[in-house]
Amino acid sequence: TTMTNKTDPSGDVRLTGIAKTYGAFTAVHPLDLTVPQGSFFALLGASGCGKTTTLRMIAGLEEPTRGTVHLGDQDVTALPPYKRPVNTVFQSYALFPHLNIFENVAFGLRRRGLKSVKKQVEEMLDLVQLGEQARKKPHQLSGGQQQRVAVARALINHPKVLLLDEPLGALDLKLRRQMQLELKRIQTEVGITFVHVTHDQEEAMTMADTVAVMNAGRVEQLGSPADLYENPRTTFVANFLGTSNFIEAEVDSKNGDEVVLKAGGGKLVLPASRCSAPAGTGGRVLVGVRPEKISLTHADDAGEIPVGRNRITGKIADSSFIGVSTQYVVDSPVCSDFEVYAQNIDRDPRLVPGAEVVLHWNPAHTFGLDAAQDAD
Ligand code: ATP
């Protein structure tokens, strides 16, 4: 049941210089953003960063202080919500309790005066896999099922864009995970643009093609989940999308495509392409290394690991066994609380607190940030 086709630009969302202030407070700083037709786009950020305000300006529920909203070629900035080709799903499902599931979904069609709604409603209920539940009342369904009804109801009028405001916020963790995959499947099937607001980085990464990480009313970085994770440009983004170690280093020299850095008496190398800091000698770089990218070797076995390239000695300060992996905290001259996650498939029983270890990693698995720029 593909409703629109990927090359139809009418489902593009284009925000141009859009901003929102409340008195002296700026909730959203002037923002330019394009969401291409048919993509699953997530606005990700902590509470108060302006993501809901941005979504509500697309919906027409909030009037921008300045800037414009385009849906496809149409400037909708001055249009009320109901005249925009969008629909919104909220965290509170807001189903009609006295109507059965079929009638809840049919509501939008009946309001438009349509008489023969059966085929469309059944198609929509099949899409959200609730064909069997049509005659039940909302209170007879689980939270996840009710949210799927809300999605079906929002899609029945064939919006060009579906806006989702923390739609899974009320569900428990397991159901949330299921619904993430379910919403992703529905989006792929209908092929329309989804703009999804969440504060949950794992949710954004699971579902979205493109994620905008928001911080204090600005988009801090935009990219695919993998790109944001592998190439964060600020410590904020690096920390929001997981855990990272940061090593304060100084540029020593440039060697071909590699930047050579001094840190804690040792040397680190970083591909120049992965360093967003100025790489002139003496430049200060924060080298980010994700805990799962590090190999941890007992010092007795570390003879093979070449000295001078991302090889750091240290001592295990703490370890926690968490099933599939063990999380270690290592004290080293370059970083006092170095976090290392090791898969337990080859767990070494000697790796206990107090053990001398060597950490090393592939330079391609790290990133360099501008320490000066990130100082705020
Ligand atoms: P949350 O996840 O908590 O909803 P958010 O990132 O979606 O957070 P917004 O709801 O967009 O954040 O709010 C952004 C900022 O604007 C917040 O600091 C909020 O207090 C403020 N704000 C929102 N609506 C109003 C309003 N009507 N009047 C004054 N300030 C507001």
Instruction: Kindly state the average pLDDT of the residues 203-210.
Output: 96
Q: What is the mean pLDDT of residues 221-229?
A: 96
Together in a domain, 209 and 267:
no
* Residue 3 resides in a domain: no
* Strand bridging mode 86-89 / 161-165: parallel
Domain finish residue from 190, 220, 238:
238
Mean pLDDT for the stretch of residues 177-192: 93
Both 43 and 69 in one domain: the answer is yes
Cα 342 to Cα 100: distance, rounded to the nearest angstrom: 51
27 and 143 belong to one structural domain = yes
CATH of the domain at 157: 3.40.50.300
User: Which residue has a Cα nearest atom 12 of ligand 1?
Assistant: 48
From ligand 1's centre to the CA of 225, what distance in Å? 25
* pLDDT > 90: percent of the chain: 75
Per-residue pLDDT reduced to its tens digit, 267-292: 899 999 998 888 788 889 999 999 99
The Å distance, Cα 56 to ligand 1 centre, comes to 11
- Report whether pLDDT(150) > 80: yes
How remote is the CA of residue 48 from the centroid of ligand 1, in Å?
A: 5
Q: Name residue 330's beta-bridge partners.
A: 316, 338
* CB 52 near ligand 1, within 6 Å: yes
Whose C-alpha lies nearest to ligand 1, atom 16? Answer: 27
Residue 170 has pLDDT above 70, yes or no: yes
Instruction: Evaluate: CB of 153 within 6 angstroms of ligand 1.
Output: no
Under a CB-based contact definition with an 8 Å cutoff, are residues 198 and 210 in contact?
no
pLDDT at 2: 47
CB of 82 sitting under 6 A from ligand 1 = no
- Any atom of ligand 1 within 6 Å of the Cβ of 20: no
- Dig out the tokens for 230 from the structure: 């592998």
Query: Pick from 221, 238, 255: which residue ends a domain?
Result: 238
> 210 alpha carbon to ligand 1 midpoint, in Å?
23
1 falls within a domain: no
Question: How remote is the CA of residue 39 from the centroid of ligand 1, in Å?
Answer: 25
Average pLDDT across the chain, whole number: 91
Give yes or no: residues 31 and 145 share one domain.
Answer: yes
Q: What is the pLDDT of residue 244?
A: 93
Contact between residue 145 and residue 169 where contact means Cβ atoms under 8 Å apart: no
Q: What is the CATH number of the domain that holds 279?
A: 2.40.50.100
Residue 342 forms part of a structural domain: yes
Residue 39's SS3 state is coil
- DSSP-assigned beta bridge partners for residue 218: 215
63 lines ligand 1 (CB under 6 A): no
State mean pLDDT over 301-309. Answer: 79
Q: H helices of the chain, where?
A: 51-59, 101-111, 118-127, 143-155, 173-190, 201-207, 225-230, 235-240
Whether 139 is in a domain gets the answer yes
Q: Which residues pair with 194 in a beta bridge?
A: 40, 162
Does one domain contain both 185 and 247?
no
User: For residue 374, how far is its CA from the centre of ligand 1 (angstroms)?
Assistant: 25
Does residue 280 lie within any of the structural domains? yes
**Do 226 and 260 fall within a single domain?**
no
Q: Answer for the pair 281, 317: CB distance below 8 angstroms, yes or no.
A: no
Separation of CA 52 and ligand 1 centre (Å):
7
The CB of 24 under 6 Å from ligand 1? The reply is: no
Task: Give residue 108's pLDDT band: very low, low, confident or very high (50, 70, 90).
Answer: confident
Query: How many other C-beta atoms can be found within 10 angstroms of the C-beta atom of residue 33?
Result: 19
Cβ of 47 less than 6 Å from ligand 1: yes
For 352, other C-beta atoms within 10 Å of its C-beta total: 11
Asked if residues 312 and 332 have their Cβ atoms less than 8 Å apart, the reply is: yes
Range of the domain at 256: 243-375
Helix (H, G, I), strand (E, B) or coil at 325: strand
In this prediction, what percent of the chain has a pLDDT beyond 70? Answer: 97
Mean predicted confidence (pLDDT) in 143-155? 92
> Residues 134-143: pLDDT tens digits?
999 999 998 8
The answer to whether residue 309 scores a pLDDT higher than 70 is: yes
Q: Are residues 233 and 301 located together in one domain of the fold? A: no
User: Do 340 and 356 belong together in one domain?
Assistant: yes
Strands 258-263 and 266-271: antiparallel
